[in-house]
Amino acid sequence: MQRMLSDEKYPMPPKVTLCQILKNEEKNLPACLDSVADLVDEIIVIDTGSTDATKQVAARYGARIHDFPWIDDFAAARNESMRRATGRWIFLMDADDRIDQENRQRLRTVFSNLKDEEDAAYFMRWYCIDDVKQTVNSAYDRIHLFRNRPGLRWQYRIHEQIHPCLESLHYTIYRADVNIFHVGYQDPAVVERKHERNLRILQRERADRPDDAFVLFNLGLTCQGMARWQESLAFYLGSLQRVRPGEYFERKLYAMTAKVSRQLGQTAEAARLCQEGRKRYPHDADLLTQEAWICYIFGDYAGTEARFLQLLNGPKDDGIELGADPGLRGAVTRHNLAVLYRSQRRDGDAEAQWRAAVAEQPYFTEAWLGLGELYLAQARWQEMEQVLTWLEANPRTRIEGAILRAQKQLFHREFASARQLLEATLADAPQSLGLRLVLSRVLIQEGSDLAAAEKALRGVLDLDPNHQEARQNLDFVLRQQRRG
């Protein structure tokens, strides 16, 4: 009788391998692995040169760690992680990704239903979180899970892609109802260094792929992030000439080309791009938003309103998301619509949109401020006090609360209280233009300390040399001082 092989001596390969490429992530990694380590069967870490305790942290979670010299090539590092993986399925998370409890359960369900012999991959929604504003900045659909098999290769040194290879191997691609939250790249200095690194790597990629539409698209995005508008537009236009119709980034490409054209003052060209893009993607949120602003520039406020309302109430495009702001289908557009209504003296409509915005996004500061300024103009003190209570209770909006509180005090001619509040807040936030501007208004209306008013106005102009109100008021104050 043939003897069965022992599972202990010949273990079955793990089902799901978490693959990560890391460098100096000791601070981020624990929260990431706490959220996912118990859901996977194996963790592979490719370390590209950490000088902190990243490897020690990973080891505590049972990861298998391999050193890989960094060669400015994310695809090479990801391919190395796949080469080391023994799982039938590959799952991807970066160190600054997180999964909350609800999505842990969804992911567990996805894993439990995987079919070992099916060549399949799964899109998951990846949300970039602004921890300061406690809002979602952007949403991406990314492939985070796929069956591991020979022949799979990542492409592109940066913004690396597995999708083209999956398609060439005829994988079935599903959309999993799992959300992953990303908390990285919030420090402006870190963002700037990231852009510089990305540009360097993309220039190398372009040398190898000069006519690749995806490379040109990413060069456009990077230059746009660096405020290098002319270069960004040139790359976008080059990508538009080469992009394959229906390519998954095509609709984002149209929207970004239109946006940069508008920022460069090429409004008619931006309108043409939006029209062309919307023929292919009529419900795309980014394209609708760009069209709304173009209508506003042309003075077509009815067109602006119509597109904002279409964003809120119309059908949604179910294509792949590549960085769309979820607020364009909700709070952000409600705020923009409220500003439009307020400019048209439709205060009731403006209030309704701002109220809906803060109900949807409780930490949406701009909408709270819109309500506060509306109530100030209408002398609705009870409602304004509710707004002030919210702003002042939140450490992140303390400055905005002080500015609005001082404006209320100014309305009631409580000059001493307003000045005391503004000067105390300025001691902690000396770079706040808003605090200095309202302080200058208080001092001018009080009229007893024009030297202090001059100082406050010069402080505004130090921060914004072209501030029109401050320039006009400074001229007035200097004339008054000369008369005195």
Q: What is the mean pLDDT of residues 198-221?
A: 97
Q: What is the mean pLDDT of residues 251-258?
A: 97
Give which of 372, 365, 283, 296 is closest to 328, Cα–Cα.
283
Q: What's the chain's average pLDDT?
A: 94
- DSSP letter (8 states) at residue 187: S
Q: Domain map of the chain by residue range?
A: 16-182, 188-328, 394-483
pLDDT band at 396 (very low <50, low <70, confident <90, very high): confident
Q: What is the pLDDT of residue 10?
A: 39
Q: What is the pLDDT of residue 6?
A: 33
Q: What is the pLDDT of residue 62?
A: 97
Q: Residue 479 to residues 441, 451, 466, 482: CA-CA distances in angstroms?
A: 16, 12, 20, 5
Residue pLDDT, tens place only, 218-241: 999 999 999 999 999 999 999 999
Q: What is the mean pLDDT of residues 339-355?
A: 98
The pLDDT of residue 8 is above 80: no
Same fold yes or no, 16-182 and 188-328: no
For residue 405, give both structure tokens: 């509180």
Name the class of domain 188-328: mainly alpha
What is the homologous superfamily of the domain 16-182 according to CATH?
Spore Coat Polysaccharide Biosynthesis Protein SpsA; Chain A (3.90.550.10)
Residue 253 CA to residue 260 CA, distance in Å, equals 11
Torsion angles phi and psi, residue 410, rounded to 5: -65, -40
Q: What is the mean pLDDT of residues 111-124?
A: 94
Q: What is the pLDDT of residue 14?
A: 78
What is the SS3 assignment for the chain?
CCCCCCCCCCCCCCCEEEEEEECCCCCCHHHHHHHHHHHCCEEEEEECCCCCCHHHHHHHCCCEEEECCCCCCHHHHHHHHHHHCCCCEEEECCCCEECCHHHHHHHHHHHHCCCCCCCEEEEEEEEEEECCCCEEEEEEEEEEEEECCCCCCCECCCCCECHHHHHHCCCEEEEEEEEEEECCCCCHHHHHHHHHHHHHHHHHHHHHCCCCHHHHHHHHHHHHHCCCHHHHHHHHHHHHHHCCCCCCCHHHHHHHHHHHHHHCCCHHHHHHHHHHHHHHCCCCHHHHHHHHHHHHHCCCHHHHHHHHHHHHHCCCCCCCCEEECHHHHCHHHHHHHHHHHHHCCCHHHHHHHHHHHHHHCCCCHHHHHHHHHHHHHCCCHHHHHHHHHHHHHCHHHHHHHHHHHHHHHHHCCCHHHHHHHHHHHHHHCCCCHHHHHHHHHHHHHHCCCHHHHHHHHHHHHHHCCCCHHHHHHHHHHHHHHHHC
pLDDT band at 7 (very low <50, low <70, confident <90, very high): very low
pLDDT band at 188 (very low <50, low <70, confident <90, very high): confident
Q: What is the pTM of this model?
A: 0.88
Question: What is 394-483's CATH number?
Answer: 1.25.40.10
| C-alpha dihedral (302, 307, 309, 310), degrees to nearest 10 | 140
The pLDDT of residue 4 is above 60: no
Torsion angles phi and psi, residue 124, rounded to 5: -130, 150
Residue pLDDT, tens place only, 275-332: 999 999 999 999 999 999 999 999 999 999 999 999 999 998 778 888 889 999 999 9
Residue 41 CA to residue 431 CA, distance in Å, equals 50
pLDDT band at 2 (very low <50, low <70, confident <90, very high): very low
**Which burial class, exposed, middle or buried, applies to 235 when counting CB atoms under 10 A from its CB (0-12, 13-18, 19+)?**
buried
**Which burial class, exposed, middle or buried, applies to 341 when counting CB atoms under 10 A from its CB (0-12, 13-18, 19+)?**
buried
> Do 259 and 290 touch, CB atoms closer than 8 A?
yes
Residue pLDDT, tens place only, 62-107: 999 999 999 999 999 999 999 999 999 999 999 999 999 999 999 9
Residues pairing with 129 in the sheet: 136
pLDDT band at 134 (very low <50, low <70, confident <90, very high): low
Q: What is the pLDDT of residue 110?
A: 97
For residue 6, give both structure tokens: 């022992």
Give which of 105, 103, 95, 110 is closest to 53, Cα–Cα.
95
Residue 171 CA to residue 178 CA, distance in Å, equals 20
Residue 272 CA to residue 278 CA, distance in Å, equals 10
The pLDDT of residue 1 is above 60: no
Give which of 40, 69, 45 is closest to 56, Cα–Cα.
45
The pLDDT of residue 142 is above 90: yes
